[in-house]
Homo-oligomer: A and B are copies of this chain.
């Protein structure tokens, strides 16, 4: 509830004394900073300078690249399956967001929670969920992460603490705030990350959630993926403050903006945000990136001008990172080609797995209406009459 209280709550868990002290200090620092000036972090308008790569960073960069490339190939595969009508509903891809995804996810502990939106395949991958299960979900099969009940927009995995993709714009924000409340209530030191698009920052739930999170000092990081577009609407036409991180000022919440082109930059900014939240000071992190294709697989994005489309090519984070790795001499073209080859083969297997997985049995239709069984709930199929031959309601 209050900054002062969190460390006390935690101190009661006797075994955690050491980390508690560290956290208590951090809490005070962040809170103090937040007090002096409502905007704890100065605007970063110019793109961040490129970091010099030291050797551990080199390994890191290669790892990031591998992950980003896998997400890229996964999404392309999903797009293909969608156009083949193997995937239904809506299908939104992370193309262009790969560096942001891997950078953000690298800042979370496995025990931290993630709430996200309908554009979440990459996040599920980066949270180390079995890609077979992710693809199977897209196919609507029993081996899917949500057993085929969720589809592209609604991936969920309690074990990996992905607490849902959500399809209602902004719907995940109050939920994430509440999950952070539960952590705070119990005195754990997990953190909740909650991602959303920049267009989502205009909905009422954004305001209500950030206010509550800051009032109650909840361990949550709100992340705005600013890809400058919500469907076809440019950020300047949807947000009167198009630099979204500045909106944190309305809640005296610290915030920052980072260029989502570079996974290392993103990871660094995300770590600051996550550790702030862990210390009881919620945080708003804005990550800029570019949506390389349409809003969803079916959107031809005709509203983009030729020059915009041209410019997009400069913003492909996977391509750019490959270039960078080559320029830095950290890899060579053959290695990258082999990597790509291997991934494509892997994705063939994944797609085959998904396609081989069974369709949910119609007998399971009434399995998930209620967690606690209840008498008189309806199990009537559409073609059945309300009362059966014996006059019993179904």
Give the CA-CA distance A237 to B215 in the complex, in Å. Answer: 7
Tallying the copies of this chain within the complex gives 2
Q: Does A214 belong to the interface (CB within 8 Å)?
A: yes
Quick check: B251 and A240 within 8 Å, CB to CB?
Answer: yes
Q: Does A206 belong to the interface (CB within 8 Å)?
A: yes
Q: Does A38 belong to the interface (CB within 8 Å)?
A: yes
Q: Nearest chain B CB to A184's CB is how many angstroms away?
A: 15
Q: Does A141 belong to the interface (CB within 8 Å)?
A: no
* Interchain CB contact (< 8 A) of A204 among B207, B241, B251, B252: B207
Q: For the complex, would chain A's binding face be called helix, strand, loop or mixed by DSSP majority?
A: helix
Residues of B within 8 A of A239 (CB): 211, 215
* Interchain CB contact (< 8 A) of A253 among B205, B237, B240: B240
Q: Does A342 belong to the interface (CB within 8 Å)?
A: no
Contact (A203, B208) CB under 8 Å given A240-B253, A241-B250, A249-B241 = yes
Q: Nearest chain B CB to A203's CB is how many angstroms away?
A: 7
Q: Does A247 belong to the interface (CB within 8 Å)?
A: yes
Q: Does A41 belong to the interface (CB within 8 Å)?
A: no
Q: Would you give the 0/1 interface string for A228-242, flagging 1 where the beta carbon is closer than 8 Å to chain B?
A: 000000000111110
Residues of B within 8 A of A208 (CB): 202-204, 207
Give the CA-CA distance A215 to B214 in the complex, in Å. Answer: 26
Can you add 13 more A-B contacts, CB < 8 Å, to A214-B240, A240-B252? A202-B207, A202-B211, A204-B204, A204-B205, A204-B207, A204-B208, A207-B208, A210-B240, A211-B239, A215-B238, A240-B253, A241-B249, A241-B251
Top 8 nearest A-B pairs by Cβ distance?
A204-B204, A207-B207, A214-B240, A240-B251, A250-B250, A247-B250, A215-B240, A249-B249
